[in-house]
Amino acid sequence: SFELTQPPSVSVSPGQTARITCSGDVLPKSYGHWYQQKPGQAPVLVIYKDTERPSGIPERFSGSTSGTVLTLVISGVRAEDEADYYCQSADDGVRKFGGGTRLTVL
């Protein structure tokens, strides 16, 4: 089994850049994905394959990876970006989510 570790919370002011990290030993060999979840709603995929952005996701969302750390970057944060963010990866067919990061827009 493997683990993905995220900080519980990140806070930024509107217009600033938010960076949410996800660390795990599996990340150098498996793709990571990011999901946004707002209260009472299903998750929404915002980044897949470490750095790819699905159609319909604003350009201010981007992803990067370096070794065992995956990073979700939200540039020019807006109030509507306040949500929980989860990373996900896989190893030998088994998937895992990180514990989630609550993004607060001050």
Partner 1 sequence: QAHLVESGGGVVQPGRSLTLSCAASGFPFRSYAMHWVRQAPGKGLDWVAVISYNGGQTYYDDSVKGRFTVSRDNSRDVLYLQMTRLRPEDTAVYFCARTSDHGASDYWGRGTLVTVTS
User: What does the binding site for partner 1 look like in residue numbers (CB under 8 A)?
Assistant: 1, 31, 33, 35, 37, 42-45, 48-49, 52, 54, 84, 86, 88, 90, 93-100
Rounded Cα distance between 40 and 37, Å, is 8
Q: Could you tell me the smallest distance in angstroms from the CB atom of residue 74 to partner 1?
A: 18
For 80, the 3-state DSSP assignment is helix
Q: Could you tell me the smallest distance in angstroms from the CB atom of residue 34 to partner 1?
A: 9
- Pull the structure tokens for residue 49: 């394959």
Q: Could you tell me the smallest distance in angstroms from the CB atom of residue 87 to partner 1?
A: 10
Are residues 26 and 75 in contact, defined by beta-carbon separation less than 8 angstroms? Answer: no
